[in-house]
Structure 1
């Protein structure tokens, strides 16, 4: 990845190729520029920065709803999707400085329905001033409204 082209690019321009994320082996950065959300009881929930709701729909439907919802968000571009994993990756560019933040989301089956694992992280800088946590909360709220 060329940092200059990543900062000057639009949408996915200048970014590394998309790749699925293994949430189970995820090591969070030491920097405060990432936010992880997970449903209660999920193995990664102990490391999460915020809880993800339990949605009363199967993981397949949650994933399909998520794709349609996020593809409509401003400054957000899908980089890749892995339907067999119910996972996708996006870039959302910040409004004022065009910084690219990467977001992965994976719908996981739960006994009561499904949950969402979500990681939002900055590619540049040490601190994001809470932008990724706010984004994760906004995505979770919008998905909950869309599902119900």
Structure 2
């Protein structure tokens, strides 16, 4: 656990498999935030209508958003699932958080699952929710500019 704090980038983070959002059980701790499409079953914290773009266009906007974030590093990529994962490190304590994004056809558009979770601690003081909302705002802006 201590090694996670002294590592940089994605170093020291255990390998993550793909997240199956259809079966994901959210933990009881308040240190996560899950955005789901309004068309998807399940319990997310936030919901958004599908985007009127292709899966590839949405993933490109997500990847560009991730690349523009400070202290955020690629962790894993699952092209067949249209899913990518990143590690974001907090500024002061270097705590690692995992962000997972997946795009999938949904109705007449593309749904976005965006999941941010802390690896350390119980509460995150709203950091993961704020991150998901900030990423969503940036993704929407990038898609409007295309």
Both proteins in one fold, TM over 0.5? yes
1:72 — aligned with what? Answer: 68
Match of 1:95 among 91, 96, 103: 91
Q: What TM-score, normalized by structure 2, do the two folds share?
A: 0.94
User: What do residues 19-69 of structure 1 show as CA deviations (whole Å, max 9, x unaligned)?
Assistant: 21101110111110111100112113xx11111342110112111221122
- Partners of 1:79 and 1:62 lie apart in 2 by 19
Q: Any stretches of 5+ residues in structure 2 without a counterpart?
A: none
Residues 49-104 of structure 1: per-residue CA shift (max 9 Å, x gap): 11134211011211122112212211000101111111001000111111000011
Q: Which of 83, 87, 91 is matched with 2:79 structurally?
A: 83
The question of whether the paired residues in 2 share the 8 Å contact of 1:65 and 1:143 is answered with yes
For 1:17 and 1:28, locate their aligned partners in 2 and report how far apart those are by CA, in whole Å: 19
Shift of 1:18: 2.8
Quote the residue 1:52 is aligned against: 48
Residue 129 of structure 2 is aligned to residue 133 of structure 1: yes
Aligned length: 144
Partner of 1:14: 12
Structure 1 runs not aligned, ≥5 long: none
Q: CA RMSD in A?
A: 1.1
Contact 2:50 / 2:107 at 8 angstroms: preserved in 1? no
